[in-house]
Amino acid sequence: MNSWINADVLTINKWTNNLFSLILKAPIEPFHAGQFTKLALYDKHDLSNRKKIQRAYSYVNAPSDKNLEIYIVRVLNGKLSNLLYNLKNGDKVFIKKQSFGFFIIDEVPDCETLWMFATGTAIGPYCSILKEGKNLNRFNNIVLVHAVKYHNELTYLPLMKTLSQKYNGKLKIQTIVSREKHKKSLTGRIPFLLKNKILEKKIGLSMNVQNSHVMLCGNPNMVKDTYLLLKNDRNMQKHLRRKKGNITMENYW
């Protein structure tokens, strides 16, 4: 049974009016980098039923870190995200003792270049994977692509740059800002940048079935559209345990 346990709120980093990170401490069971958990609070408007409002969120921290970090977008009229945003240091939140998901590096087959695509808060799983650093030596190149609407949403860019230095050039970072111009960032949607090979030209690496594996995490429309593009234009297939492919996907709602 995957029970709810209490997590202590250590810090709340409010990056923008809509983006924030919770730093928590809780005796969860060991997890794999890239997995997600569930957080919950009681519905303040229905305390008589003691009903929990719960949502799934990925870890940003490496499994070896002592504190847990969750990156969250505050949704307009969202029941849980607004409650979480207004928590204070010292408050408690429910968290699942065991973690979920197979969006982990051990599920990715060997290849020359591993491409990691994220939109918004879906950068979290990749931060966890890269901070942990296990089982990555089988890739010659790793490309981390983070797409946001506005440049002030590149919350974890300093961490991404630090990780790039840690990997001594093996990890390449590319940001995409869709609704304004930003120095060093590309502009446009991921499928467009791939279809026209703008991203590959900027990075200096090619993406094909012979040399690449693609991880897609984020907005369901991005995941779906990018998957269809890669399938139709590059002959890439979804990776399954029973059938090796080139694409691993996870939606962020």
The CATH number that applies at residue 199 is 3.40.50.80
69 lies in the same domain as 194: no
Q: With a cut of 80, say whether residue 47 has pLDDT above it.
A: no
152 lies in the same domain as 209: yes
> Residue 253: what pLDDT?
64
> Residue 65: what pLDDT?
98
Of the listed ranges 40-44, 109-113, 223-227, the one predicted with least confidence: 40-44
132 lies in the same domain as 220: yes
75 lies in the same domain as 163: no
Q: Which residue has the tokens 């997590």?
A: 7
142 lies in the same domain as 21: no
The angle subtended at Cα 127 by Cα 243 and Cα 222, nearest 5°, is 60
Q: Rounded to two decimals, what is the model's pTM?
A: 0.96
Among 96, 114, 133, the domain-final residue is 96
User: Please, which pLDDT band fits residue 182 given cuts at 50, 70 and 90?
Assistant: confident
Q: What is the CATH number of the domain that holds 27?
A: 2.40.30.10
Report helix angle 123-132 to 157-166, nearest 10. Answer: 30
91 lies in the same domain as 132: no
What is the pLDDT averaged over residues 17-41?
A: 98
User: Which residue range forms the structural domain that includes residue 14?
Assistant: 4-96
Among 67, 96, 125, the domain-final residue is 96
Q: With a cut of 80, say whether residue 249 has pLDDT above it.
A: yes
CA distance 118 to 134: 20
123 lies in the same domain as 231: yes
Count of domains for the chain: 2
Q: With a cut of 70, say whether residue 48 has pLDDT above it.
A: no
Question: Residue 171: which of 148, 140, 202, 212 has the closest Cα?
Answer: 140
User: Please, which pLDDT band fits residue 241 given cuts at 50, 70 and 90?
Assistant: confident
78 lies in the same domain as 177: no
Residues 6 or more apart in contact with residue 63 via CB below 8 angstroms: 30, 31, 32, 33, 128, 132
226 lies in the same domain as 129: yes
220 lies in the same domain as 168: yes
48 lies in the same domain as 170: no
Among 51, 73, 96, the domain-final residue is 96
110 lies in the same domain as 90: no
The more confidently predicted of residues 44 and 130 is 130
